[in-house]
Amino acid sequence: DGDIIACTCPDGMQGIRVCENEEYGACTCAGGEGEGEGEGEGEGEGEGEGEGEGEGEGEGEGEGHCAVLGGVDGIGTAVADFVVLVLQDPSINQYFLNESVLGGEGASNLGGCLIAQVAAAAGCEGIEYPQTLTNGYVCRDMAETHAGMNISQAEFDALVGHFVTVLTDAGVPEATLMAVGGALLSTQPEIVEDPDGDQSVYHRLGGYPGITGAVGAFVQQVAGDARINGFFANADVPRLTTCLARQLSSIDGPAIYGEEIPDTLEGIPEGATPCRDMVSSHEG
């Protein structure tokens, strides 16, 4: 007992083992003696899940046709522009250039009814057609309004075409243009009575443009005829031409002779002051 032998410590240094009871003990190292076992287990799990779902449903209607047109006020502007084009178009203006149509409150009544008709077609809230205007005038349906006028398909197309032109020039979207234009076109069966334009003397003469052309040629013939041109030496030629054309256009046509509208109204052709009857025109 007491013998000592060398041994190797865990850190690689030399230690000693002492013999006791005929057995060597554990290796003694500098710093002391100890045996230790340590196990350390560390597990870390981290899971992160993030789910985000966003659902949004939105239903909305874009601007209606009425709003696109600027409401009733905007429609009023379009109608005013339309009326000017109509009054400047000799192929259809004779239906309007009569005192009984545009005289007095006639112009405002016509405009008011047109505004109501377009506003109803555009779906403006609270507006229906026919309707009664604020001044008490009752707008009539298309069949009643145009009965007996013998309007041709070409004349109807010209009328609707002018309104389409106004809307197109104003940049109105195609959807609104088609909706309003379609509503106006749907009135064709109620308005057109002479589709081919051959059932009246007025139409067979070419309407007002044809009659005006014939009258112009006639006036030139008269001016060159020494036997009669003295009667017309001081004549107001535009007025004479207008009155003669209006007189012929009243034969089975839309003009009402003697109901010419003063040319102070915008769009009225030159010389369209009231024409005189034949007796007063030739007196003296």
**pLDDT-wise least confident of 101-115, 168-182, 189-203, 233-247:** 233-247
User: Could you report the per-residue pLDDT of 56-66, keeping only the tens digit for each?
Assistant: 443 445 579 99
17 and 89 together in one domain: no
Whether 124 maps to a domain, the answer reads: yes
The structure's pTM equals: 0.72
- Structural domain span for residue 12: 1-28
Whether 274 maps to a domain, the answer reads: yes
The three-state DSSP-derived secondary structure of the chain is CCCEEEEECCCCCEEEEEEECCEECCCEECCECCCCCCCCCCCCCCCCCCCCCCCCCCCCCCCCHHHHCCHHHHHHHHHHHHHHHHHCCCCCHHHCCCHHHHCCCHHHHHHHHHHHHHHHHCCCCCCCCCCECCCCCECCCHHHHHCCCCCEHHHHHHHHHHHHHHHHHCCCCHHHHHHHHHHHHCCHHHHCCECCCCCCHHHHCCHHHHHHHHHHHHHHHHHCCCCCHHHHCCCCHHHHHHHHHHHHHCCCCCCCCCCCCCCCCCCCCCCCCCCCCHHHHHCC
CATH label of the domain that carries residue 175? 1.10.490.10
132 and 253 together in one domain: yes
Whether 208 maps to a domain, the answer reads: yes
Question: In residues, how long is the chain?
Answer: 284
178 and 231 together in one domain: yes
Whether 85 maps to a domain, the answer reads: yes
How many distinct structural domains can be found in the chain?
2
Neighbours of 172 (CB within 10 A): 22
CB burial of 82-94 (b: ≥16 within 10 Å; e: otherwise) equals: bbebbbebbbbbb
Whether 55 maps to a domain, the answer reads: no
Which whole number is the average pLDDT over 191-195? 98
User: Could you report the per-residue pLDDT of 156-185, keeping only the tens digit for each?
Assistant: 999 999 999 999 999 999 999 999 999 999
93 and 233 together in one domain: yes
Choose among 181, 203, 240, 184: nearest CA to 91. Answer: 203
Whether 138 maps to a domain, the answer reads: yes
- State the residue for tokens 């507006």: 127
140 and 245 together in one domain: yes
pLDDT at 122: 96
Please give the share of the chain, as a percent, with pLDDT higher than 90: 63
